[in-house]
A and B are shown apart, each in its own frame.
Chain A
Amino acid sequence: MTGGTAVRPRRTEAEAQDLLEIRRLIASHKRWDAVFGVVGVIALMIGVLTFVALFVDMAINGVPRLDWDFFTSFPSRRAGQAGILSAWVGSTLVMLVTAFVAVPLGVAAGVYLEEYARKNWLTDLIEINITNLAGVPSIVYGLLALGLFVYAFGFGQSILSAGLTLGLLILPIVIVATREAIRGIPQSVREGSYALGATQWQTVRDHILPYSSAGILTGIIIGMARAIGETAPIITIGALTFIAFLPPSPLEGNPFAWLFSPFTVMPIQMFNWTSRPEATFQVNAAAAGFVLVLMTLAMNGLAIWLRYRLRKNIKW
């Protein structure tokens, strides 16, 4: 600027041109901001609308079919009389075995890795292995179970085999959730416990586990929600699609006979009905699917709500 300080510098023609150019540039870049704002919302909406379409379509087709008989009838050759009794009973029993396998093993492994494990190659191996297991396609677990549980161990195509399979499948989820929950506990809690003379296990039992229990529970619920919807591994071990009886009751005879009973589960029942060409069976599929979706949504919703509460309430 050549002028004195009091005189406002006069812009030359070229400088004014530059300024216009810069303003245009800024405006065009800002336009990109606005465009992306819209594109982002559209992308998000595609996800949301698909979900709404899926849910509404299933509700319209399935809800009229839902009545008490649908829950208390066995599958049938006649679509109108078919129900999901054997399917939901099977799902419940399989989930029982799954929880029995995955919860103690997953929590124990998580506690070991967070609280006990030394930094060595074995720990590294276990950690890498768990990360990799979480990425293994679920059908591969089905093949493992077919070779190992069904034939090598001789459990057959039973509730036990299915529960063990799904238990191993969700093990990484439970382990990771346990570790994350434990990691959130400050070191001072452990130090306080040790200072009072507690052993490591006493610290874990009386402090670490109670304080992390809500976080662990979240992981367990998410894992169970995943397990209840898994179809492929259970088909692979050879679950039947048409079961018109219930497993033996534990109150009569051998209390563990139900573990070795043939079974079907909700997603398999739905798969069976979906793959039939008759429209009436597809209505059944929609009804079963609606029940299944509600179940998984409720479980996942509960887990998300728990975690939200947790984040809000705990301040160390």
Chain B
Amino acid sequence: MSTLAPRSVSSGALGVEGLTNARLAHRRSRIWKERLIELLLFAAALLSVFVTVGIVYVLVSESVQFFEHVPLSSFLFDRQWTPLFDDAHFGIGVLLSGTITSSAVALSIAIPLGTIIAIYLSEFAAFKLREVAKPFLELLGGIPTIIYGYFALLFVTPLLQRVWPELPGFNLLSAGIVMGIMIIPYVASLSEDAMRAVPMSLREGSYAMGATRFQTATRVVVPAAFSGIASAYILGISRAVGETMILAVAAGMQPNFTFNPAEPAATITSYIVQVALGDLPHGSIGYQTIFVAGLSLMLLTLGFNIGGHVLRKKYREAY
């Protein structure tokens, strides 16, 4: 604004019109600058949409080329996955079985433990403990997954083999267990947030009726926070399905149509890693398979997210 001051002094010489013109010009340039900046900021925000468009475009365009060679029916129903052999088979079910089995193991650990921890921290624990435990859980969630992979292969598997000697060195079980532990912080932290958001008056009402803490937690707080807890579960499922390195390290990368967690198997994600580690020519059918695998993964997580959205809508509680 300081630039305006000398102008107003000389307004006698310039006349009122000159002053107004100078001010208008200043104002105009200011408005243009503001518009330009807003446009730049808008472009940055819009970029995120282009990332999504880019993902969909890359996955779909490569997949379309893939389906020119392989009929959809054999992709869905073939029970072999041998894309790099002479006798090539492309049954996504093989990779899907590994993904489903390892995710099932992981979720059977992460969901109960995560929920218990969330209820405990939100309804039972002293304030001090919560203040310490929440950041600790966050730290756990920040550990790189390759570290968990190392831990699964070289710590958990030997440990399991001590109780169960026939367990092979690569298996879905130990990968799934470690994956579950990795997911606990996400489930616990988000569920706890949801439970804390439940208004105190609901708890007070419950206590006034003579309910204990446990009854209040399980019959009042959890149902009231259910939509938030459901989102936590959905996030956990997406993490499990999309997890890559733990499986690539500890579950072996052999395609294997199995629902037995004690066997080694490839998942959708570890297959992509395996192919990327090799040297596949750009544009070959092997190259296209990783995009088809990626598309399947996206559709799978999309399906879970839509399911979660429906669930949330249905059980949403408003206060």
Contact = CB atoms under 8 A, between A and B. Distances in A.
Interface string B268-312: 010011001100001000000011001001100100010000000
B138 A300 contact: yes
Interface in B1-49: 1, 30, 33-34, 37-38, 40-42, 44-49
Where chain B touches its partner, the secondary structure class is helix
B48 A274 contact: no
B165 to A, nearest CB: 19
Contacts of B149: 271, 274
Contacts of B38: 112, 116, 200-201
Sorting the interface of chain A by its residue count into under 10, 10 to 19, 20 to 34 or 35 or more gives: 35 or more
Contacts of A140: 55, 59, 242, 294, 297-298
B135 interface: yes
Nearest to B139: A300
Contacts of B136: 48
Nearest to B169: A277
Nearest to B275: A236
Max chain B C-beta neighbours (<10 A), residue from A54, A151, A267: A54
| Chain A residues touching B, majority SS | helix
B203 to A, nearest CB: 14
Interface stretch (B75-83, B116-124, B222-230): B116-124
Which of B45, B138, B148, B277 gathers most chain A CB within 10 Å? B45
Nearest to B244: A232
A90 interface: no
Contact of A32 (B148, B185, B214, B272): B214
A270 to B, nearest CB: 6
A116 B37 CA distance: 10
B193 interface: no
A148 B117 contact: no
A57 B155 contact: yes
A301 B139 contact: yes
B212 A175 contact: no
Interface of A: 26, 29-30, 32-33, 36-37, 39-41, 43-44, 46-48, 50-51, 53-54, 57-58, 104-106, 108-109, 111-113, 116-117, 125-126, 129-130, 132-133, 135-144, 146-148, 151, 168, 171-172, 175, 197, 199-201, 222, 225-226, 228-232, 235-238, 241, 267, 270-271, 274-275, 282, 285-286, 289, 292-293, 296-297, 299-301, 304, 308
9 contacts: A51-B139, A109-B41, A112-B42, A126-B46, A171-B51, A226-B142, A232-B248, A274-B150, A289-B146
